[in-house]
Amino acid sequence: MISPRIYITERALHIYEIFGKMGVDIGKFIVHDGVNLVLKLQWNDVMSFKISAQKFYNDFAPNYESKFCGSQGDAQHVNEAAAIFHKYHRNNHGHILDIGCGTGLLKDLLQGEFEYTGIDVFENMLHYASERGYKVIHQSVVDALPEIPDASYDFVFALSSLLFVEDIHPILTHISRIARQSILLSLDEVTQEYRNNFTVAVFDHSKVHISGAKEDYLIRGWTSCTTGITVNTRMIYVPKI
Ligand SMILES: C[S@@+](CC[C@H](N)C(=O)[O-])C[C@H]1O[C@@H](n2cnc3c(N)ncnc32)[C@H](O)[C@@H]1O
């Protein structure tokens, strides 16, 4: 008896490799067409297996700083943000809102007597931020920002966190409304290759128009420790006064 052969196109092979990295069992995509086994995979199948940012960071939180900022991830955007901030702000006090604050690493990088409030969807990340002395808002940025009054924080930071939001425009409007003195953003240039390979759905906002920026340039941002892909980051500083 001749055993059936599995037919796999080059396109499906590529998707199969992505699924491999995501740990998805592809068994259910192999169908018997009466004669052969055929691997049927489409891009929509990949999208249906994307996981939420919460689930991803749930597993990642304890190792976040060593992996993302250590030699593996070599994250530069946070150091760059601190350098830009101190270039323009010498009186080192005020209230900072850190959007997608993660573990609250920013507090270790800025010199000064600031109060920190962090927004993040993931409570394990907030646990570390809270230990660092952050007040925390455990909500999605989309839900949290509309509830924050106008001009209620001196400085608003959003570092490598807006890639998880599909529509960035209302977020930018809120940030501008909330910040009293300045805004510091890092917008990641998430390429099609990165979007295909990363297990969480992410969006490229690196080309969005930002008015009034005093600093606006691209750096080599960080290397993803799950995909090995290096992502460039657009650093933006907007003074409000
Ligand atoms: C790449 S980390 C950046 C953390 C920190 N800002 C830094 O640069 O080290 C992205 C953070 O955004 C958070 N995040 C993802 N989606 C979010 C959302 N919709 N609202 C708020 N935070 C979110 C994640 O939990 C994670 O802590």
Cα angle at 50 between 44 and 54, to 5 degrees?
155
- Gap from CA of 54 to ligand 1 centroid (Å): 9
Residue 31 sits in the same domain as residue 17: yes
pLDDT digits (tens, 9 = 90+) for 185-221: 999 999 988 887 777 889 999 999 999 999 999 999 9
Average pLDDT on 79-89 reads 96
For residues 183 and 39, which has the higher predicted lDDT (pLDDT)? 183
**Per-residue confidence band for 16, with pLDDT thresholds at 50, 70 and 90:** low
Q: Return the amino acid letter for 192.
A: Q
Asked if residue 192 is part of any domain, the answer here is yes
**Any ligand 1 atom below 6 A from CB of 12:** no
Residue 126 sits in the same domain as residue 198: yes
**102 CA closest ligand 1 atom index:** 27
For residue 49, pLDDT beyond 60: no
Residue 132 sits in the same domain as residue 40: no
Determine which residue's CA is closest to atom 25 belonging to ligand 1. Answer: 122
The Cα 27–Cα 40 span in angstroms is: 10
**Any ligand 1 atom below 6 A from CB of 122:** yes
Residue 64 sits in the same domain as residue 107: yes
Q: Range of 33's domain?
A: 6-48
User: What's the pTM value of the predicted model, to 2 decimals?
Assistant: 0.81
Please give the tally of structural domains in the chain. 2
The Cα 174–Cα 178 span in angstroms is: 6
- Strands, sheet with 113-120, edge to edge from the N-terminal-most edge strand: 135-138, 113-120, 93-99, 153-159, 179-189, 230-239, 215-223
Asked if residue 58 is part of any domain, the answer here is yes
pLDDT digits (tens, 9 = 90+) for 141-188: 999 999 999 999 999 999 999 999 999 999 999 999 999 999 999 999
Residue 40 sits in the same domain as residue 89: no
- Gap from CA of 17 to ligand 1 centroid (Å): 27
The residue written with tokens 């420790």 in the block is 225
Determine which residue's CA is closest to atom 27 belonging to ligand 1. Answer: 102
Cβ-in-10-Å burial (0-12, 13-18, 19+) of 1 comes to exposed
